[in-house]
Structure 1
């Protein structure tokens, strides 16, 4: 798993704390690197001390959403947000 440089990483007895989350995966190993090369993406790349960054052989690109799926999801979220704004406005107006 790949995390950005700005995340604070702490090794704890119960797992690895990354920011405010604790990963309980016992196979997770934390590496400190000075930079992340352009093009390296979360989940689709791995890191090893000897090899550096390399493509994750277990990564399934078919699970990545298409542009059309992302646009549809964004449209649904926008509609939901607009509904919430109207609901809040009605509540405020009723007071």
Structure 2
């Protein structure tokens, strides 16, 4: 009989590194809400809440029942923030 040791799997905190502006420029024309939110340092739930309340800092489209964030508007918003800093 084969004995397999079971390892306890513990949740490791995920490193949330916001993508750089250069990385974002390489994204497709639209991205999902969690990806778009990550560009602004938002957790998934916060990003969806911002979409729901109309507070998301970039243009959001509803395509076939799903929300998509326009990458060009993310770049524009982050470029404006960078210029203001």
Q: TM-score, normalised by structure 1?
A: 0.23
Structure with larger RCO (C-alpha < 8 A, sep 6+): 2
* Bigger proportion of residues as strand: 1
* Bigger proportion of residues as helix: 2
